Amino acid sequence: MAPAIDLANRVAVVTGAASGIGAAIASDLAYHGASVVLSDVDEDAGRSTSATIANSLFVKADVRSPLECCALIDAAVAEFGVVHILVNNAGLQHICPVEEFPLEKWDELIGVMLTGSFLMTRCAIPQMYKAGWGRIINVSSAAGLVAHPFKAAYCAAKHGLIGLTKSVALEAGEHGVTVNAICPAYVRTPLMEKQIADQARTRGISEDEVVRTLMLEPAAIKRLVRVEEVAAYVTFLCSESAGTITGAAQLIDAGWTAH
């Protein structure tokens, strides 16, 4: 049976696509017919993931670099002719009390998740305006809506990403481009596994206790979000059915922020 959402003739660029959420998003967009350019700083893993996805291309890029962001979009246009979809997913984490937070780590997190999303948007959006159609999906987090201790840079970047989403949405609507943020709660990915270990070390508790008390206790649905669920939400936001959804922070948090 053909997939209900048809993204044939659409071209997508997904950052942070070597593994985890980004890889799942790239795979789902391709399943629904899109040509996909995957990007990551991990070249070996990125090329390996791209090899499993039909009609895809891998381009190594550090989204903190304006030149590399534009080179990534240029490579997508050279290969497929246009860019219709941008998923700003590249991310990382550092958990630490604010008084001990290394400045270089602050700069790195803000640079990748917030500045990098701005740079990628700035490079890609002229292509969407030219096409008269576009979708920008910024991968924020439930931590973009509510605060967490020991995650100052992550929360700052993800909160800022929602502001960026809303601002660009107001500019882009008249050009046929929607801009949305998705805000998952805890998703089991390599990044989250590192978060669990960091939280356990910082708080002096076991990793099982981190999952049970910090991640799942506030949620209405007592399980972690699956990468496939996040990917399906992104694909829907790229569909024609989501054409009037813009400037929104879309929660996928199992009721985590319902309190």
**What is the per-residue pLDDT across 35-44, written as a single tens digit (0 to 9) for each?**
999 999 999 9
pLDDT at 190: 77
Give 110-132 pLDDT, tens digit per residue.
999 999 999 999 999 999 999 99
* Burial degree of 259 (CB within 10 A; 0-12, 13-18, 19+): exposed
Exposure b/e, 26-39, CB count within 10 A at least 16 = b: bbbbbbbbbbbbbb
Binned at pLDDT 50, 70 and 90, residue 160 comes out as very high
Q: What pLDDT is stored for residue 214 in this prediction?
A: 80
Q: Is the pTM for the entire model greater than 0.85?
A: yes
pLDDT at position 251: 96
pLDDT for the residue 203? 83
Q: Is 154 one of the catalytic residues?
A: yes
Burial 186-207 (b: 16+ CB within 10 A, else e): bbbbeebeebbebbbebeeeee
- Is the pLDDT score of 259 beyond 90? no
Residue 213's pLDDT band, with cuts at 50, 70 and 90, is confident
Q: What share of the chain in percent tops pLDDT 90?
A: 81
Which domains, from first to last, does the chain contain? Answer: 11-185+225-252 (3.40.50.720)
DSSP 115: I
- Active-site residue identified among 129, 154, 186, 233: 154
Q: What pLDDT shows up at residue 3? A: 61
Do residues 235 and 7 touch, judged by C-beta distance below 8 A? Answer: yes
Handedness of CA 199, 200, 201, 204 (dihedral sign): positive
